[in-house]
């Protein structure tokens, strides 16, 4: 996979637009996931994906062939998402808010299997709501550590804060999530 | 026995603190183990966070919107190389003109004999000619452009990071011309100008080689490097001197330019 990426990047560098198209097609979905987790908004995430590939295209000459293209692309996506969050001043925050789904969650059901699905759906809504309680830095640091597995040192660099501050930001995020979600964990331990 | 703090447990969960003492404590303390499991359950629940699905064709959709925004890499590269080549040619031309003028002045001086006794104290060794003034204009332009770039960096809010995407190509062209001016200044013994240009070069290089967007930490670091050398001030002073055509006294290190 990495060899394929390296060869494709090499061709794209030489001006082969078909090669760059292959990279876009291969990496768009994972980039969308990280963008969505960071922005919490589908349209913003789509914009971040576009911007990520645009920047990557302009910076292809700076990509070191020994590096992992996917990791490099993720780093660009994180920066794009951060720029967008800064530009928005975190005004547009709505995590996973599909009103129709929320409405369905409240509907009564007599089917145990359906109840279980609805409970699962409700839990996801609660998780989305809990994520919404996090500040921009907390959400970013948490997403990068929890979902992206980024080392704390790199998170610190990305956010422009010290390593200890990055650790503390992640800790604050986890504490807030616990406060919001612990009741649901207790009531549905068997579901997890 | 001291129980583990919530922060220690979170760090342990993410393998950011793998002290054996924590592992041993968890093995022996039921209270902390329960707390740790609670954290793990909450974080497992967070994995349920909904992410809208994007189908197999999503990549193609992204590409169809993106392709119109991409210029040709070859076109872009040609433009950058063209700009750099034009800059080098212009600099080479003016440097040659200036060098010719210096030789002509020296020849006149030699032919007229040693006239230093008749020259007022502190006056320049030679009066710059038209070609000199052309070079002054070119160097002044270079310093003004550099000053504007440094001002932009220094006056930006580093806590928000810094977008230098539009400056990288200009910085690359400035690096090319900066090298030639520095060499010329060194060859002609203008140590003061050479030193300022020497300090300027790594900063221009950093901007030219940046990936466009500097993180707040990177932006702060760049600002500190500019501040620590008093670079902006030096560039302003030397730019004012060259634009005012104040040729310094004829002493080592402050001759022409």
Segment 16-55 of chain B within 8 Å of chain A by CB: 16, 38-39, 41-46, 48-52, 54
A90 touches B at CB < 8 Å? no
pLDDT of A52 reads 95
- Subunit contact A83:B213, Cβ cutoff 8 A: yes
Segment 104-133 of chain A within 8 Å of chain B by CB: 120, 123-125, 127-128, 130-131
Q: Which residues contact B223 (CB under 8 A, 6 or more apart)?
A: B153, B154, B156, B158
Buried/exposed B140-151: b ≥16 CB within 10 Å, e otherwise: bebbebbbebbe
Q: How far away is chain B from the Cα of A25, in angstroms, using its nearest Cα?
A: 4
Taking each helix axis from N to C terminus, what angle separates B130-154 and B216-228, rounded to the nearest 10 degrees?
A: 140
CA dihedral A140, A142, A143, A146 (to 10 degrees): 160
| Alpha helix segments (H runs only) across A59-151 | 69-88, 99-106, 112-132, 136-146
Per-residue model confidence as pLDDT tens digits over B186-218: 877 788 888 888 888 888 888 887 777 777 877
Which tokens hold the place of A141? Answer: 């640091």
Categorize the per-residue pLDDT at B31 as very low, low, confident or very high, splitting at 50, 70 and 90: very high
Mean pLDDT for B168-181 is: 83
Can you give B29-60 as a three-state secondary structure string? CHHHHHHHHHHHHHHHHHCCCCCCCCCCCHHH
What is the rounded CA–CA span in Å between residue B102 and residue B95?
10
Strands B213-214 and B162-163 turn out to be antiparallel
pLDDT of B125 reads 45
Answer yes or no: are the C-beta atoms of B80 and B170 closer than 8 Å: no
Mean pLDDT for B233-252 is: 62
- Subunit contact A24:B159, Cβ cutoff 8 A: no
Q: How far away is chain B from the Cα of A147, in angstroms, using its nearest Cα?
A: 8
Residues forming beta bridges with residue B163, ordered by sequence position: B213
Per-residue pLDDT of chain A (192 residues; tens, 9 = 90+): 444 788 899 899 888 889 999 999 999 999 999 999 988 889 999 999 999 999 999 888 888 877 889 889 988 998 899 888 888 775 334 333 333 333 333 333 444 454 444 557 778 888 888 998 888 889 989 999 999 888 999 888 888 889 999 999 999 999 999 999 988 876 554 433
| Side-chain half-sphere exposure of A81, counting CA atoms within 13 A | 32
- A-chain residues near B46 (CB < 8 A): 127, 130-131, 146, 177, 181
A175 touches B at CB < 8 Å? yes
Q: How far away is chain A from the Cα of B28, in angstroms, using its nearest Cα?
A: 24
What is the rounded CA–CA span in Å between residue B210 and residue B204?
10
Nearest CB neighbour to A36, from listed B7, B14, B51: B51
Give the helix, strand, coil percentages of chain A, each rounded to 5.
80, 0, 20
pLDDT of B73 reads 56
Contact pairs from chain A to chain B, CB under 8 Å: 147
What is the percent of chain B where pLDDT is above 70?
Answer: 68
Per-residue model confidence as pLDDT tens digits over B102-151: 666 655 554 444 444 444 444 444 445 555 566 667 788 888 888 888 88
pLDDT of B195 reads 85
When mean pLDDT is compared across B94-108, B192-206, B220-234, the lowest value belongs to B94-108
**Residue B6 pLDDT > 50, yes or no?**
yes
Per the model's pLDDT, the better-predicted residue between B242 and A156 turns out to be A156
A172 touches B at CB < 8 Å? no
Most confident of B43-47, B160-164, B251-255: B43-47
What is the rounded CA–CA span in Å between residue A86 and residue B219?
16
Chain A interface, best mutation among B8, B9, B14, B55, by max A CB count within 10 A:
B14
Global ipTM: 0.75
If you search the block for the tokens 């999530």, which residue do you land on? A177
pLDDT of A82 reads 86
Smallest CA-to-CA distance from B124 within B111, B136, B141, B142 is with B136
Answer yes or no: are the C-beta atoms of A136 and A90 closer than 8 Å: yes
Residues forming beta bridges with residue B213, ordered by sequence position: B163
Per-residue model confidence as pLDDT tens digits over B63-92: 988 887 776 555 555 556 666 666 777 776
Answer yes or no: are the C-beta atoms of B44 and A191 closer than 8 Å: no
What is the rounded CA–CA span in Å between residue A46 and residue A49?
5
- Subunit contact B59:A181, Cβ cutoff 8 A: no
Which tokens hold the place of B107? Answer: 């020849």
- B-chain residues near A76 (CB < 8 A): 211
Neighbours of A134 (CB within 10 A): 24
A10 touches B at CB < 8 Å? no
Answer yes or no: are the C-beta atoms of B180 and B91 closer than 8 Å: yes
- A-chain residues near B76 (CB < 8 A): 58
- Subunit contact B6:A28, Cβ cutoff 8 A: no
Residues forming beta bridges with residue B162, ordered by sequence position: B214
**Residue B20 pLDDT > 80, yes or no?**
yes
DSSP structural state of residue B214: E
- A-chain residues near B161 (CB < 8 A): 82-83, 86, 160
- A-chain residues near B45 (CB < 8 A): 123, 127, 181, 184-185, 192
Answer yes or no: are the C-beta atoms of A95 and A132 closer than 8 Å: yes
Nearest CB neighbour to A29, from listed B14, B54, B67: B54
Question: pTM (2 decimals)?
Answer: 0.51
């Amino acid at each position: 996979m990495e060899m394929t990426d390296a060869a494709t990047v090499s061709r794209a560098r030489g001006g082969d637009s078909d090669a760059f198209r292959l990279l876009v097609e291969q990496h768009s979905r994972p980039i969308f996931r990280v963008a969505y987790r960071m922005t919490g908004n589908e349209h913003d995430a789509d914009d971040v994906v576009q911007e990520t590939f645009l920047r990557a295209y302009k910076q292809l000459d700076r990509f070191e062939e020994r590096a992992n293209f996917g990791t490099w692309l993720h780093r660009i996506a994180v920066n794009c998402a951060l720029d967008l969050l800064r530009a928005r001043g975190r005004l547009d925050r709505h995590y996973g808010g599909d009103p129709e789904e929320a409405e369905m969650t409240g509907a009564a059901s007599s089917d145990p299997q359906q109840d279980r699905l609805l409970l699962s759906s409700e839990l996801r809504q609660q998780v989305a709501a809990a994520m919404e309680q996090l500040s921009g830095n907390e959400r970013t640091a948490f997403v990068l550590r929890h979902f992206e597995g980024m080392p704390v040192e790199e998170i610190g660099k990305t956010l422009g804060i010290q390593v200890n501050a990055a650790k503390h930001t992640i800790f604050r995020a986890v504490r807030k999530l616990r406060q919001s979600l612990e009741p649901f964990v207790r009531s549905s331990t068997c579901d997890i | 026995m001291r129980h583990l703090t919530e922060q220690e447990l979170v760090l342990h969960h993410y393998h950011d603190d793998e002290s054996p003492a924590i592992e041993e404590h968890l093995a022996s303390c039921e209270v902390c183990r329960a707390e740790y499991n609670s954290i793990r359950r909450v974080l497992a629940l967070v994995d349920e966070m909904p992410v809208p699905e994007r189908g197999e064709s999503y990549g193609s959709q992204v590409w169809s919107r993106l392709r119109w925004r991409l210029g040709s890499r070859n076109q872009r590269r040609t433009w950058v190389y063209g700009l750099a080549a034009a800059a080098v040619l212009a600099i080479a031309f003016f440097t040659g003109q200036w060098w010719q003028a210096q030789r002509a002045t020296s020849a006149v001086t030699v032919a007229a004999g040693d006239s230093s006794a008749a020259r007022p104290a502190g006056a320049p060794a030679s009066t710059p000619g038209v070609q000199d003034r052309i070079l002054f204009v070119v160097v002044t332009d270079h310093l003004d452009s550099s000053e504007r770039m440094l001002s932009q960096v220094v006056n930006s809010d580093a806590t928000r990071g810094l977008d230098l995407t539009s400056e990288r190509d200009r910085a690359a062209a400035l690096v090319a011309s900066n090298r030639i001016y520095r060499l010329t200044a060194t060859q002609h013994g203008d140590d003061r100008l050479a030193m300022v240009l020497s300090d300027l070069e790594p900063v221009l290089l950093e901007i030219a080689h940046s990936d466009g967007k500097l993180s707040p930490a990177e932006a702060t670091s760049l600002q500190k490097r500019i501040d620590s050398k008093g670079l902006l001030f030096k560039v302003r002073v030397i730019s004012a001197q060259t634009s005012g055509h104040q040729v310094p006294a004829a002493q080592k290190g402050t001759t022409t330019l």
